[in-house]
Each structure stands twice: as C-alpha cells, then as structure tokens.
A and B are shown apart, each in its own frame.
Chain A
Amino acid sequence: NAGVTQTPKFQVLKTGQSMTLQCAQDMNHNSMYWYRQDPGMGLRLIYYSASEGTTDKGEVPNGYNVSRLNKREFSLRLESAAPSQTSVYFCASSEAGTGATEAFFGQGTRLTVV
C-alpha cells in the first residue's frame, strides 16, 4: 500500500522557470491538500481540494495553481518560480472533509529556487 506518492523528491529551479509537482493517493480519499513547510513556520496550506472537481485557496496560494485531475491525483504548479518558493512541499489526503479524520502525508518534495 503506497499511500501518498509525491514526485519528484528533489528539484532545483532557476528563477522564472515553471514546474509541476505531482501527487497521487491510493486510499480512495476524497480530500487532498498541498502544504509548504518552512523552518519555524510549521506547515502552511497552499491549496486544498475537498472533493474531486473542487479546489480552494489556503493560507498562501499566491504564485501557485492546482489541478485535481481525478480522485487520485492532485498537482501543484509553479508558473514562474521565485526564491521565496524555496521550501519543502507536502501533499496530503484525508478520507473526507469532516475535520475529524487525520491526514496522510507524502514524503515531501524539497524545492530550491536559485
């Protein structure tokens, strides 16, 4: 059981380049999330998808776009990378958007923008 799979695990971008972070879950979860983790700031929600076909902004959506491709997959796109987007990105999923169910996390993508 793979759980939540993120690709790539590491990436270095030049300022202005674009890229897409991929995320897939095999737990049949309805809700999926993208967080970024920065030292001393915990995890901050970028975007989430409560169910297939819907997406909503989180705390820090600027500079990002998302696509809920199907129930399994939720991608995060950086259109024009900036050094401020250097971070570790985590995808997560949960059974339903009830708040009572825990999130399952991928291993993370370490992104450096130079």
Chain B
Amino acid sequence: AQSVTQLGSHVSVSEGALVLLRCNYSSSVPPYLFWYVQYPNQGLQLLLKYTSAATLVKGINGFEAEFKKSETSFHLTKPSAHMSDAAEYFCAVSGHTGGFKTIFGAGTRLFVKA
C-alpha cells in the first residue's frame, strides 16, 4: 500500500527565509509524486510533480522538490519565502497499483511572518 507522511502540520517562517516542507512516502512500486497548494476556500492546484525523469523538479512560484529514493523523501523547498506563499501544502503519491489512485498526506500549513 502507498502512503505519505508530511512532517509538521504547521510551519512558520519569516519573509525572505528558506521554506522547507517535508514529505516521506511509502510505495512498493516506483512512485509518482506531487506537491499541491491550497489557498483559503479554494481547491488544490499543482505545484510540481515527479514522474521518474529528473530527480530535482522545479515547479511554479519558485518552488522545487528533490526525489531521494534512498531516503524515500520528496521535500519541497523555496529559497526565499513571500507573504503570498502562506497556504496549505499537500504531498501526494500515486503508482501503478490500486488503479492509480492518488493518496494525499495530511497537509502542512505554511505561515509567513513579515
């Protein structure tokens, strides 16, 4: 079975500081991995995805994530936080089993302080 664990339900950073949101996955098959962002009262939208090409994936709004198979991790980073980055972030995994269902982590809410 596939699963996703996001470490930290809340992360707070100062504007201009590094953003690091942690995600570890479990999968018995090569996974597809995603990061989604949810702004208040909206649906989720894709930030970036890993589909077995380059291990360092660049997404929208300056975010990137690195797939590390040995650590079963797919952490999301951004060098410099902006106030507009305040949102909830979800890591997700899907694969070749289970009808390609996408399994989501519990989410990490990012707060950005001025």
Q: Residues of A within 8 Å of B, CB-based: how many?
A: 26
Contact: B51 with A42, CB < 8 Å?
no
B57 to chain A, nearest CB (A): 12
Q: Which A residues have a C-beta under 8 Å from some C-beta of B?
A: 4, 31, 33, 35, 40-45, 48, 50, 56, 58, 90, 92, 97-100, 102-103, 105-108
Given A99-B95, A108-B43, residue A50 in contact with residue B100 (CB < 8 A): yes
Q: How far, in whole Å, are A93 and B41 apart by their CA atoms in the complex?
A: 19
- Contact (Cβ within 8 A) B96 A99: yes
Most chain A CB inside 10 Å of its own CB: which residue of B90, B94, B105: B94
Chain B residues with CB under 8 Å of A35's CB are 104
- Decide: A97 and B100 in contact? CB cutoff 8 A: yes
Question: Which residues of B from 77 to 114 have beta carbons under 8 Å from A?
Answer: 90, 94-96, 99-107
Residues of A within 8 Å of B44, CB to CB, are 43, 90, 92, 103, 105
Tally of contact residues, B, Cβ under 8 A: 26
Judge whether B26 is part of the interface by a CB distance below 8 angstroms: no
Give the distance to chain A from B98, nearest Cβ to Cβ, in Å: 9
Interface positions of B from 52 to 89, Cβ below 8 Å from A: none
**Does the CB pair B43–A50 fall under 8 Å?**
no
Please measure, in the bound complex, the distance between the C-alpha atom of A56 and the C-alpha atom of B51, giving whole angstroms: 24
CB-based contact B32/A100 at 8 Å = yes
Interface contact A43-B90, CB-CB below 8 Å: yes
B104 touches A43 (CB 8 A): yes
What are the residues of chain A within 8 A of B51 when measuring CB–CB? 100
Chain B residue with minimal CB distance to A90?
B43
11 A–B contacts from the bound complex (CB under 8 Å)? A35-B104, A40-B9, A40-B107, A42-B106, A99-B32, A99-B102, A100-B94, A102-B34, A103-B44, A103-B102, A106-B43
* Chain B residue with the shortest CB-CB distance to A4: B43
Q: Is the CB of A58 within 8 A of B45?
A: no
Complex CA gap A31/B99 in Å reads 11
Query: Contact at A48–B49, with CB atoms within 8 Å?
Result: no
Q: Does B28 contact A (CB under 8 A)?
A: no
Task: Give Cα A106 to B102, complex, Å.
Answer: 16
Closest A residue to B107 using CB positions: A42
Taking the closest CB of chain A, its distance from the CB of B13, in whole angstroms, is 21
